């Protein structure tokens, strides 16, 4: 299945537009500041950085909702670190996120309703009945297995560094295995998913909605 570069970039922009900078900068500032100045200055600088990102988007009239969520997240993570007097505690939300995604992937695989299908349904609004077809669901199941492997590996590395209290290394791992790695995971998922749907020979979403009879053209774009 031929998936062109413009199509992939458009799919990624719909998910990550304006998010990467806001997500990466505060934890990096926190980790570097902690190694140089100590915990309290690191907490102050991380919150200040997130507040700056939020304010900048408000002034430029950009989408500020993600920055607001990031600000709240940084305040919460910084509070955990400060109250526990443990710099590694800043990354507990990241550990929790990895655990929840892994758990969600495994549970949905066990019940036969793969996470990738739910994610696509929620983001695209396609009918759930289409995802559960025998000639559609295997693609979403296989992508969900891929996601489970990724989150399992990420959680293993994060836990090892967390218990070692390697704060700076943990920050770099969270950055690298955060949006950059997720972008790669989604690109692979999208390319494989579209190819697999066509390989399975089921109807495309529009064909399913219109109750067309086979032979079908299949899902040519979107996963």
The DSSP output letter for 212 is P
29-54 burial, b at 16+ Cβ within 10 Å, e below that, comes to bbbebbeeeebeebbebbbebbbebb
pLDDT digits (tens, 9 = 90+) for 110-164: 999 999 999 999 989 999 999 999 999 999 999 999 999 999 999 999 999 999 9
Please give the share of the chain, as a percent, with pLDDT higher than 90: 60
Please give the share of the chain, as a percent, with pLDDT higher than 70: 90
Rounded CA-CA distance 186/184 in Å is 5
* pLDDT for position 10: 63
Reduce the secondary structure of 106-142 to three states and give it as a string: HHHHHCCCCHHHHHHHHHHCCCHHHHCCCCCHHHHHH
pLDDT digits (tens, 9 = 90+) for 200-210: 999 999 999 99
pLDDT digits (tens, 9 = 90+) for 140-151: 999 999 999 999
Predicted TM-score of the model (pTM): 0.83
Band (60; pLDDT cuts 50, 70, 90): confident
* pLDDT for position 202: 93
pLDDT over threshold 60, residue 18 = no
pLDDT over threshold 60, residue 2 = no
DSSP per-residue codes, 11-67:
HHHHHHTTTHHHHHHHHHHHHHHHHHT-HHHHHHHHHHHHHHHHHHHHHTT---HHH
Domain limits of the chain? 5-209
């Amino acid at each position: 299945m031929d998936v062109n570069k413009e199509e992939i970039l458009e799919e990624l922009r719909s998910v990550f537009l304006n998010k990467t900078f806001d997500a990466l900068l505060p934890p990096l500032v926190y980790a570097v500041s902690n190694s140089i100045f100590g915990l309290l200055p690191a907490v102050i600088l991380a919150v200040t950085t997130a507040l700056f990102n939020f304010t900048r988007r408000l002034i430029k009239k950009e989408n500020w909702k993600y920055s607001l969520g990031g600000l709240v997240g940084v305040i919460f993570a910084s509070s955990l670190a400060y109250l526990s007097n443990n710099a590694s505690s800043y990354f507990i939300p990241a550990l929790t996120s990895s655990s929840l995604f892994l758990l969600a992937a495994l549970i949905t695989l066990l019940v036969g309703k793969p996470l990738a299908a739910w994610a696509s349904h929620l983001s695209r609004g396609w009918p759930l009945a289409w995802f559960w077809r025998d000639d559609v669901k295997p693609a979403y199941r296989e992508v969900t297995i891929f996601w489970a492997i990724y989150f399992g590996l990420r959680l293993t590395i994060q836990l090892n560094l967390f218990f070692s209290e390697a704060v700076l290394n943990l920050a770099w791992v969270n950055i690298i295995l955060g949006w950059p790695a997720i972008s790669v995971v989604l690109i692979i998922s999208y390319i494989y998913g579209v190819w697999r749907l066509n390989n399975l020979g089921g109807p495309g979403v529009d064909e399913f909605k219109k109750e067309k009879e086979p032979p079908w053209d299949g899902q040519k774009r979107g996963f």
